[in-house]
Amino acid sequence: MEQSQAILTGTPMPFCPGCGHAPSVISISKALIELGYAPNDVVMVSDIGCAGLVDPLFNTHTIHGLHGRAAGIAFGVTHGLNDPSKKVMVILGDGGATIGLQHILESARRNANMTLLVLNNLIYGMTGGQVSGLSTNEFKDDRHITDQTPPFDVVRLAHEAGAAYSARVTSHKNFVEIIRTAFTTPGFSLVEISSLCQPYGAAKMSELTAWTEEEEVYTNKRSELPPPLIETHSLINDKDVIVPQFESRIGNRYGIILAGSAGGGIQAAGKLLANTGLISGLEATMKGEYPITIGTGFSVAEVILSRDSINYTGLVHPDLAIILTIDGLEKIKDKLTPDTKIIADSKLNLEGYNNVVFLEFGKIGGKKGAVFSALTYWMIKEKLIDKEALKGAAGNHKYSESLLNTMAKMEEHILAEAN
């Protein structure tokens, strides 16, 4: 295992004040640290719902699953990974556990080497407090819900399906210890923790403990782990190793956000920028965001360039924001700080923002080339990355001719501006 580093990113907790998920996150990170796991030793798969908001909090590898499918995804990861020194864990709520029960039972039955943490607040919190399959009848009585169908006991079910270890805890007092036991038990383990949901569930721990099932721990003697998938192959093609060809002055973790509208070439520019970083000897990540209706509305690309490893790929506040349209500005304005350097199209109103350079990028680059002309402008002016690296990345692109033309136009513009 690597040297112990911070398991949590330090990103503020996204939950309502008093939500029980926050202490759960802290307990989970404590257990990992106490066991000597470094962020890169851990693969965390999260589900949908409030419990699934944990991704930005963890500095580990993270995968965000579909509702109820996190256990199935983790099952695939643990099978393909086949490395007992790594920890594969799932964080999901009682809603996700209800929807994905079959994935949980299948993982337990096959003794997949992973730990599933069910944060049970007896309701679907994110969608407004509907009861789940794990809601107890005591809770339903309190809410005057007449349905008296008994809840699933996910701890017992996992045990019956063959889980090596399954436990329920109703207080955070011994949660860290129980998680540590789960994490160190080879094979499948599940821990259910009772969690407060202030607006829709229990507002106080005393209410919650009155409604939840008893604490319990079950074990099955499972010596065998599932056979590894041997017919897997690495996603990294060693024939395509990138050899740095350019210099860069970027140090650790420089975050750039490109914000515009659908059809404005934002995603392509984000990829080009990441490639430019790679051929400049940097690590790079790129995350695209746009509405489901991809032909309309905002389009945002977040790129992180860094000399060191990039663990957490989220970008909370960018160092540089390139903003081309009002759609893009509306989408990202909450991420801007007084320290963010902003390069914006001159048609935008950025009153109240410091540190802004305006230029008519739309006129210089056209609708699709505006973002690329702005990137060129930044590279020439800031010199953090050699503009020849951008030329190199653009030269390998399918639209290389038009990209190189846009670059040339921007270079001419800067020259004319200087004279």
Q: List the one residue from 4, 9, 11, 16 that touches ligand SF4 (CB under 6 A).
A: 16
Q: Compare residues 80 and 199 and give the one whose CB is closer to ligand SF4.
A: 199
CB of 51 to Mg ion, least distance (A): 6
- Can you tell me which of 121, 132, 194, 275 binds ligand SF4, judged by CB under 6 A? 121
Q: Indicate which of ligand SF4, Mg ion, none lies near residue 39 (CB less than 5 to 8 Å, by partner kind).
A: none
Q: What is the CA radius of gyration of the chain?
A: 25
Cβ proximity to ligand SF4: between 156 and 172 the closer is: 172
Tell which one of 8, 21, 321, 345 touches ligand SF4 (CB under 6 A).
21
94 binds, among ligand SF4, Mg ion, none (CB under 5 to 8 A by kind): Mg ion
Q: Which of residues 349-368 bind ligand SF4 (CB under 6 A)?
A: none
**Of positions 7, 8, 15, 331, contacts ligand SF4 by CB under 6 A:** 15
Secondary structure element (H or E) that encloses residue 293, with its range: none
Q: Which is nearer to Mg ion, 21 or 87 (CB)?
A: 21
The token pair that represents 33 in the structure block: 């640290």
Q: Decide: 62 and 44 in contact? Cβ < 8 Å.
A: yes
Q: How far is the CB of 67 from ligand SF4 (least distance, A)?
A: 15
Contact between 198 and ligand SF4 per CB under 6 A: yes
**For 121, what's the count of Cα atoms within 13 Å in the CB-facing half-sphere?**
28
Q: Point out which span in 14-22, 35-43, 61-69, 292-300 binds ligand SF4 (CB under 6 A).
A: 14-22
List, in order, residues 6 or more apart from 207 with CB less than 8 Å away.
142
The one-character DSSP state at 120 is: E
Q: Which stretch binds ligand SF4 (CB under 6 A): 198-206, 263-271, 293-301, 339-347?
A: 198-206
Residue linked to tokens 């010596």: 223
Q: Name the minimum Å distance from CB 408 to Mg ion.
A: 56
Cβ nearer to ligand SF4, comparing 100 with 328: 100
CA distance readout (Å), 19 to 134, 192, 200, 395: 18, 16, 11, 51
Give the C-alpha separation, 372 to 415, whole Å: 17
Q: Which member of 8, 167, 197, 256 binds ligand SF4 (CB under 6 A)?
A: 197
Smallest gap, in angstroms, from Cβ of residue 279 to ligand SF4? Answer: 42
Those residues with Cβ within 8 angstroms of residue 136's Cβ, 6 or more apart along the chain or in another chain: 122, 151, 211, 212, 213
Cβ 196 to ligand SF4 shortest distance, Å: 7
Q: What interhelical angle do 101-109 and 70-81 show, nearest 10?
A: 30
How far apart CA 60 and CA 65 sit, in angstroms, is: 15
Candidates 12-20, 110-118, 263-271, 295-303: pick the segment binding ligand SF4 (CB under 6 A).
12-20
Amino acid at 332: I
Distance CA(270)–CA(302), nearest Å, equals 7
3-state percent helix, strand, coil for the chain, nearest multiple of 5: 40, 20, 40
User: Could you tell me the smallest distance in angstroms from the CB atom of residue 12 to ligand SF4?
Assistant: 13
With CB under 5 to 8 Å by kind, the binding choice for 16 among ligand SF4, Mg ion, none is ligand SF4
Contact code string over 34-53 relative to ligand SF4, x by CB under 6 A: ----------------x---
Contact between 342 and ligand SF4 by CB under 6 A: the answer reads no
Q: How far is CA 370 from CA 117, 321, 406, in A?
A: 46, 14, 8
Between the alpha carbon of residue 87 and those of residues 35, 84, 175, 186, 240, the distances in Å are: 11, 7, 18, 10, 29
For ligand SF4, which stretch binds (CB under 6 A), given 121-129, 176-184, 265-273, 289-297?
121-129
Beta carbon of residue 220, minimum distance to ligand SF4 (angstroms, whole number): 31
How many residues touch ligand SF4 under the rule CB under 6 A: the total is: 12
b/e map of 66-98 (b: 16 or more CB within 10 Å)?
ebbbbbbbbbebbbebeeeebbbbbbbbbbbbb
Q: Residues interacting with Mg ion, by CB under 5 A?
A: 93-95, 121, 125
The region of 16-24, 153-161, 182-190, 234-242 touching ligand SF4 under the rule CB under 6 A is 16-24
Separation between Cα atoms, residue 290 and residue 267, nearest integer Å: 9
**Do β-strands 298-306 and 254-261 pair in parallel, antiparallel, or remain unpaired?**
antiparallel
Question: Which CB atom, from 130 or from 309, has the smaller least distance to Mg ion?
Answer: 130
Footprint on this chain of ligand SF4 (rule: CB under 6 A): 15-16, 19, 21, 50, 121, 125-126, 197-200
